[in-house]
Amino acid sequence: MADVRRDLETGRDLRNSLFGRALLRISTFRREDTTRPRQGYETAISDNPTWDNFARLGYLKYTLGDFSGAEQCYIDAEDELNGQGIAALCLGRAATRSA
């Protein structure tokens, strides 16, 4: 994990990407610091509410014993996935109708 963190710190483009920021939060969480990853996940969700960010925050809350908070995060992740699936289905139907 130390190698991943070092690589992320040296690669500004990756470090500043959504994926890179998620990896940094995971590596911070693995080092027993739970405040920074929680704040990072919450910031990521406010910037870009994707299912994977909800799931990561849910996992963190679960490991800290906040089971109802974790459940809500997983519900939000599922809703986000369902929303993406519905949007993709609608776009697919619209594309086939216009063809």
- pLDDT (0 to 100) of residue 12: 65
The residue that leads in pLDDT, 5 or 53, is: 53
pLDDT of residue 68: 94
Q: Report which secondary-structure segment, H or E, holds 76.
A: helix 67-98
What percent of the chain shows pLDDT beyond 90? 10
pLDDT at 99 over 80: no
For residues 17 and 25, the model is more confident at: 17
- Helical H segments across 11-66, by residue range: 12-15, 18-30, 35-47, 51-63
Across 2-20, average pLDDT? 67
Long-range contacts formed by 24-31: CB under 8 A, 24+ apart: 25/56, 26/56, 27/1, 29/60, 30/1, 31/1
61-97 pLDDT tens trace: 888 889 999 999 999 988 888 876 666 656 655 555 5
| CATH, domain 2-98, list 1.10.10.10, 3.30.750.80, 1.25.40.10, 1.10.260.30 | 1.25.40.10
